[in-house]
Amino acid sequence: MDSQLATPELSLQANELEDYFESISDSFESTWAATQRRDFVDYLLIASFFLAFFSVLPGIPMILTGVVQSRYPTWHTSVAGMAVPIQSFFFWWGACIVLSIPLVTLAAKVDAARSKRALKEQPGPASMRFALCYATVKELERYAKNGLQKHVERAQDYWAQLQQMIQKMLCGFGSGGARSALNPSYSAYSAYYSGGTARLAAKDSFAESGDFLIPSLFPEMYYVQQGFPWFKLEPTTSKIINALCVMPWKITTRLMDRKDLSSIASSLLHLASFLYTLIPEVSSAGRHSSMELVAIGERYLLQFADSLEGLNVYKSEPQPLEGKEKVRSKLALAITWFGTLFVHESPVVKFIVWWALALAIVIFGLIIARHYATDLKMDSTIVTLLIATPLLVGAAALAGPFRKR
């Protein structure tokens, strides 16, 4: 495979990619495996946040109070000669908070220690990008030899993660929030841009019409070209940008349908060669100077663009859904749409959604509490709880680090 890269001028040495990949394969595989599964710490962290959230709200204390008052109305206990108000709602509220907050803190510290330890063992971002791309090529080659479905499925997983890392690398900051801080107009047109998408024709990354959507790798260029016709890119730059933008509709769709896999593997080999030249350790290994790596990287990136230019935009044929599959598909879309409201860019929408959720939880808790505690009265404390809790949750959501992923 590496013989394709051995050209007399501006090329990588034979087996250079293979040698480097083998040197980081153990770290790459362990890092990848860690991202694909949850362990005890993950479940502990989720459970502790769940308990703390519904303890502060307070849904769990209301349920406990209602159960104790209805099932054990005569239950009384004391500690060191002091009576413990088991029947009191405020006792259970305080007890739940006292127990859940330290649990959250402990779980967060364990998770931070685990992440710090994993960070020392995993490859850097540049090495990880190269490893994902090169591993995709190797899995496609194995699939071509033995036809086992697991290889092409693994290649799809690697490629999906690689696309996210490439977009983060090209955008420079990884999120719209950082870019809007540097560019005030970004947040204004990103909403109009429908989540960062633009129309794409088959041969023009920034065409005004077309049938496909592309991720916003360079949305600023699209708007500058629309407003200023004199703004033009060099042919090679335009070709590279076009290739990066059409990757989902020339590579991803073909991987999903297992089409033209040999051409995809050849294209990704050029991309892996480019990503290899970006690894900091490569320049310090002594095989190539920094200037040589820049020239070699540009050459392979242009070869990647040329190879993609030879592929037409591929659109998978939609498979009709029937019966339960259709219902599940609509339900998944509805759940996804509803979930995006909690991280919506508009502060008003975000506040209203979190306020409504908190209000519903408090009302539900009060209904349960009144069911088990028939003598529970709507006094000023409960009214304050009913009004203040949703407002506090909504305000905390605006201040919290919730963001789209």
Long-range (24+ apart) CB contacts under 8 A made by 171-177 are: 171/217, 175/403, 175/404, 176/345, 177/403
Q: Is residue 184 situated within a structural domain?
A: yes
pLDDT at 365: 73
Query: What number is the average pLDDT over the span 178-201?
Result: 36
Of 309, 328, 363, the one marking the end of a domain is 309
Q: How many domains does the chain have?
A: 2
Domain shared by 167 and 252, yes or no = yes
Does a structural domain hold residue 154?
Answer: yes
Q: Which residues are CB-neighbours of 246 under 8 A, at least 6 positions away?
A: 200, 205, 214, 308, 313
Residue 119 lies in a domain: no
Q: Do the domain assignments include residue 317?
A: no
Which of 257, 289, 309 represents a domain boundary (last residue)? 309
Query: Quick check: is 145 in a domain?
Result: yes
Residues 300 and 347 in one domain: no
DSSP E strands in 40-184: the ranges are: 77-79, 82-84
Which residue type is seen at 208?
E
- Same domain as 280, residue 144: yes
Domain containing 367 equals 339-405
Statement to judge: residues 289 and 350 lie in one domain: no
Q: Is residue 160 domain-shared with residue 217, that is, in the same domain? A: yes
Longest Cα separation, the chain: 91
The pLDDT mean for the chain works out to 76
* pLDDT tens-digit map of 209-221: 333 344 446 767 7
Domain shared by 396 and 257, yes or no: no
Reply yes or no on whether the pLDDT at 304 is more than 90: yes
Phi, psi of 78 (to 5 degrees): -145, 150
> Are 210 and 357 within one domain?
no
387 and 303 within one domain? no
Token duo for residue 345: 């860019």
Residue 72: inside a domain: no
pLDDT in tens, 21-62: 999 988 888 888 877 766 677 777 788 888 887 787 777 888
